[in-house]
Amino acid sequence: VQLVESGGGSVQAGGSVRLSCAASGDIDMVLCMGWFRQAPGTEREGVAAIEDDGRTNYADSAKGRFTISQDKVKNTLYLQMNGLKPEDTARYYCAATEAYGGSWQERLGDLGFWGQGTQVTVS
C-alpha cells in the first residue's frame, strides 16, 4: 500500500485546511485508515481514524474541529481541519492498516503503512 499526502501549508489561527491522502496498491485488505501528526520534540499523536464500515474515532484534541472522511471510489482519505490553533502545527501523516484487534492508534501506528507526511503550520 502506498500513501501520498497533500494539502498542507501555512494558515492563520482560526483558519481551515483540508488534507488528502491518495492510496494505491493492494488496498482491498485495508480495514482502517487514519491521520497522525508529530511536531518537533513531541511524540507522535493519533488524530483521527475511519474504519472500513465508516465508523470514526477522534483524539480529544480533534473532536469538534476535525472531520475525517474517505472516498472509496477515488481511494482517497481526507482530513478537514477547522478552527486551527498554533498547537495544531505539525507534520501530518496518513496511515492505513490491514490489522484488526486493538486500538486504532495501535493498529495504525504499529502495524500500518505510512505516507511521507505533509506539513501544516498555524500562526
pLDDT digit string (tens) for 29-64?
Answer: 999 999 999 999 999 999 999 999 999 999 999 999
Looking at residues 88-108, what average pLDDT do you find? Answer: 93
Is the model's pLDDT at 8 over the cut of 90? yes
Kindly state the DSSP code that residue 95 receives in the 8-state scheme.
E
Is the model's pLDDT at 110 over the cut of 90? no
Identify the pLDDT of residue 117. 97
Burial of residue 88 (number of CB atoms within 10 Å: 0-12, 13-18, 19+): buried
- Among all chains, which residue has been given the C-alpha cell 480533534? 62
- The answer to whether the CB of 79 falls within 8 A of the CB of 62 is no
Identify the pLDDT of residue 100. 84
Paired residues of 22 in beta bridges = 4, 76
Query: Measured between alpha carbons, how far is 84 from 86 in angstroms, rounded to an integer?
Result: 7
Looking at residues 65-85, what average pLDDT do you find? Answer: 97
Is the model's pLDDT at 111 over the cut of 90? no
Query: Measured between alpha carbons, how far is 105 from 123 in angstroms, rounded to an integer?
Result: 28
69 pLDDT tier (thresholds 50, 70, 90)? very high
pLDDT digits (tens, 9 = 90+) for 9-30: 999 999 999 999 999 999 989 9
C-alpha cell at 63: 473532536
Is the model's pLDDT at 99 over the cut of 90? no
Taking alpha carbons only, the member of 31, 32, 3 closest to residue 19 is 3
Identify the pLDDT of residue 70. 96
Mean of per-residue pLDDT scores for the chain: 95
Query: Measured between alpha carbons, how far is 14 from 5 in angstroms, rounded to an integer?
Result: 22
